[in-house]
Amino acid sequence: MTTSDSPAPTTSRDRVGIVVVSHSEALALAAVALGTQMVQDDEPTVEVAAGVDGGFGTDAVAIKAGIERADSGAGVLVLVDMGSAVLSTELAIEMLDDPAMHERVTVSPAPLVEGLVTAAVAAAGGASLAEVDTEARNATAGKVAHLGGTSPEEARTEPSSGGTDDSGVVAVFRVRNEHGLHARPASRLVNEVRRLDADVELTNVTVAAGPVPADSLSRVATLGAQVDHELRVRAVGPQAQEAVDRLVALAERRFDEPESTEVVQESTDRDDRSAPGEPGRSGALPGAPGVAIGPARHLVRAPAQAVEEPVGSPAEERERLEVAREAVRREIRKSRDLAARTAGDEEAAIFDAHLTLLDDSAILDSVRERVDDGTGAADAWSQTMTDLQHTWEELPDAYLRERAADIAALRQQVLETLTGVSGFELSAPGVLIARDLTPAQTARLDVSLVRGVVLAEGSPTSHAAILARAREIPLVVSAGSDVLDVADGKTVVLDGTTGEVDLAPDEDTVARFEATAAEQRELQRAQVSEAQREAVTADGVRVVVGANLGSVADAEAGNAMGADTAGLVRTEFLFLDRSSPPDEDEQTRQYLDLSAAMGGRSLTLRTLDVGGDKPLPYQPAGTELNPFLGRRGVRLSLHEPDLLRAQLRAACRVAREAPISVMVPMVSTPSELGAVRTLLDEAAGSEGVPACLRFGMMVEVPSAALKIDAFAPYLDFVSIGTNDLTQYAMAAERGNADVEDLSDPLDPGVLRLVASVAGVSSSVTVGVCGEAAADDLAVPLLLGLGIRELSVAPPAVPRVKHRIRRLDTAQCTSLAEHALDLEDATQVRDLVRKELPPR
């Protein structure tokens, strides 16, 4: 019992918090489980910031967030495992928004496991930050005393191959790799060192170069280590002996590089070589309609320019750099995973060197020093990487000199992310040939130069394909790696409607494509001329055709193309590519601008749909092994409700001036929908939700489609997102070239899910806003299943209306019933082509 003369008991709110920073999430979680098990009651707050994208590494942004969560005012003790974890933690502390927090954070040199156990017990008992740190530092005292040894820092043992000197464990190994210690084996060496609690340096004894830190790929490369050169390794620290033994063993194994394998070109230029494909692969698929004829053109890299003046303070510039590095890290990992799937681990290993360089301590130290001196993040990164590139270009070995291209590529990639300017351009008008395109690259294509696009990889449902359709760029995907060998300037023809590609057309073929293009242009003119009319079927059924919007320019195009409504407004366009979210006032202005551009027609605002492949740079997400099945859409919004509240308040304000609908994405359970509806009621305030504001959800999750009646009490309308619904129903990732044949919304299984949703209560309107809504073969099936609202990219509105006017709903119903009993999407498409061919 507490008396007036005794101190008040420490509560969980004013205890010292603990943050565990480790390169391995599994290690950190296991350590926390052990450490907190020692505390019977009143566990202290312990946060984990460990691993990057399911792999090894540390992230300053995640560490910063962990410190902020752990801070109750009594201080935060940070325990780190090794190497760059210390650097990342120091950066995280500098990034803290509250300067007062800097004094409340202590980074402890204590051993991770033993230190966490004793720190957790001390913190639970109400000890001060200094006392908790002292307990953690002394955690191994009992073990040292029992074993009769010295402290870990002083301990040294005899190496298995080498010996000791006055300053550590040493050994000498010979480089046996045919091309020396180039980027891939050097990356393997560096990553091995980074896993261990030891300071390791290398010296090239043969040419008297070094010593250099072994955890820096950029510095290891300067040793110029060629085949048969001898390297001396020296290590100090708790795992010094293990570090030396492992490097000697690695060298004996030729750093795990196969003897018979020639070293491949190690360039990450993302135009053609970022993800090798299967040679000779066939099966080109239509990506975006239209015919293109012209000379083959390949993307060339145009240097991104650094920003001379800093955008913010040194701390803000450092944070910008960390956000950019994290984005690039995700992009490289995606490229590596795709390369591993299509060409094997040996080809994919070229990306490991670039991931290693991205976390290179020597590079980061140089960049941060420049930033601290007042240089902007982009300029500091550019200067550092340019200097390093010049250093590598002067290396004596010709093969290693060529690896300077890796530095240039990484410099470019991070600069593009920092500046938001694409480093690729088309050299001249023609048909673009590329391995694949990112959404950003597709969005930035100059339509005055690009007549069409042929991709060796890709999928008809990828974001690049969606953007190509929205921009009216004829596109063929999955054409196979042979297309990459087409010489620049050679005539190429393609039909994005059928997927036909001819890389060496004769005169008759060119003439045939030209005739098809002329017919399409004439048909398009006829469709546009009648676009402002309603879409009414031959038997008198009206179908609403709306436009999918992602900007005011899209809204203007939708209005011009005769869209009846804005069936989908992708509001994330306001939230991406910026350092902070838009506030309520900015959103209100933007939504009103969209309404005006659409001529006052109704807008359907999809609440923020991020996560998965669309992360927010200012809203760091935890590591997820499969982000597409993780916290995205409504799940993220309910986890971060402040973002959702501001968006709902803006929607209510706009609804008092213009017709508005609010649509919730990625809904799985009625409770999620109910939670958003409660927030909407709160956002509306005392005036209540405006009468003209309609509330609905997207159906993208198969289970939601099958239990649609459970959601009906909350709903005014439903919109089916066929892209994600197909992805989840078919277990086929969108954009994955290996499974694109499964990613077809006309599979009978997917159509049955659509039919289930269409059967919901008659009080709920059902529409489709996925890519199937713009598919000429899908439209009659959707109408036959009962869909009466379609929303498509603005350029597709006239074509879809034209298609609807020539259909009879009774015939469509019979066709849809037949399609549900077929085996696969191929049979369904063949059926529609036979019975109701597009005209």
Kind of pairing between the strands at 199-204 and 105-108: unpaired
Question: What tokens does 519 get?
Answer: 């017919």
Reply yes or no: is the peptide bond before residue 211 cis, omega within 30 of 0: yes
Cβ neighbours of residue 631 closer than 8 Å, sequence gap 6 or more: 611, 621, 622, 624, 639
Task: Identify the bridge partners of residue 493 per DSSP, sorted by sequence position.
Answer: 293, 502
Angle at 733 between CA 727 and CA 735, to 5 degrees: 110
- The two tokens of residue 320 are 């910008």
Question: Other C-beta atoms within 10 Å of 540: how many?
Answer: 8
Beta bridge partners of 433: 298, 454
- Give the span between the Cα atoms of 371 and 367, in whole angstroms: 6
Retrieve residue 675's tokens.
């939670």
Q: How far apart are CA 712 and CA 123, in angstroms?
A: 50
Token pair, residue 295, equals 């000379």
Burial of 86 (0-12, 13-18, 19+ CB in 10 A): middle
Half-sphere exposure (Cβ direction) of 280: Cα atoms closer than 13 Å = 0
CA neighbor of 799 nearest in space, from 777, 817, 784, 821: 777
The radius of gyration computed from the CA coordinates of the chain, to the nearest angstrom, equals: 30
Name the nearest CA neighbour of 341 among 770, 831, 771, 739: 739
Apex CA 265: angle with CA 259 and CA 271, to 5°?
145
Nearest to residue 273, comparing CAs of 324, 328, 343?
Answer: 343
Task: Please count the other Cβ atoms lying within 10 Å of the Cβ belonging to residue 40.
Answer: 8
| DSSP H helices in 715-796 | 722-730, 748-758, 779-784
* The pair of three-digit structure tokens given for residue 91, joined into one six-digit string: 């950066």
Residue reference for tokens 């939504």: 591
Kindly write down the DSSP assignment for every residue of 26-85, as one continuous string.
Answer: HHHHHHHHHHHHT--SSPPPEEEEE-BTTBS---HHHHHHHHHHH-SSS-EEEEE-STHH
Question: How do 285-288 and 424-426 pair as beta strands?
Answer: unpaired
Helix (H) or strand (E) holding 297: strand 291-301
Residues acting as catalytic residues: 463, 769
Q: Identify whether the C-beta of residue 563 lies closer than 8 Å to the C-beta of residue 598.
A: yes
Q: What are phi and psi of 41, to 5 degrees?
A: -135, 160
* 3-state secondary structure at position 565: coil
The structure tokens 């490369």 sit at 221
Residue type, 710: A
Q: Within 13 Å and on the Cβ side, how many CA atoms surround 289?
A: 18
What is the rounded CA–CA span in Å between residue 754 and residue 782?
8
Residue 291 CB partners (closer than 8 Å, separation 6+): 452, 474, 493, 494, 495, 496, 497, 513, 516, 517, 520
